[in-house]
Structure 1
Amino acid sequence: MADDLNLPLSPDMDFGAALTEEEVTAIEAAAESFGVNRRIAITVLARSKAQLMAGFVADPDAGEDLIDSVIELQRHAKNLADISETALARLTIVALAVGGGDHE
């Protein structure tokens, strides 16, 4: 379990809350666009270069909006990866502290 993180984790490590309830609410509110941006990225993958070019030519502003949506999706995905890595590290520390076994 701790080996998966490639971090020096110890059951003696202590930590407080990393987020306030207000921050959790703000993160959840920002996540609402994740589904739309994910669908946009998947739709782009379902289009050929010719189809995408036609869309850009027909409406350049919409093309720029699509780019912005995919950039925002990447930002959100990176933040999710960071959040899940930190959450896993915290849970691993607690599992080690209570003598928990390997959870693969």
Structure 2
Amino acid sequence: MTYVILTSKPGQFRTEPVEGVTPLETYDYAFYGRATASFVIAELHQAVKVRVIDESGGAEAETINLVPSKFLERFDTLDAARAALRNLASFGTMDLSLTKR
């Protein structure tokens, strides 16, 4: 199995799983107590194009991009993907947190 991390930042962009991508776990990321992103660890079953929707122009001006999965970082195990997220949420003495939904 291969695992990927899909990222969304409210008001900026959201990444949506498509057929061939199975979401497994979702995490909220906070920077000094403010939620700034969400991450979904997903199982990648085949090469796909994930939907990345640009939200920066508001709901009326959303732009949809199809990004080939070959550009996503891949992990051999679910634990490796979790470790990558934990690493993201620990930088020196900064107040960062990662909370599983």
What range describes the TM-score normalised by the shorter chain of this pair?
under 0.3
Structure number with higher helix proportion: 1
TM-score, length basis structure 2: 0.23
Structure number with higher strand proportion: 2
TM-score, length basis structure 1: 0.23
Q: Looking at both structures, which has the greater relative contact order when contacts are Cα pairs under 8 Å and sequence separation is at least 6? A: 1
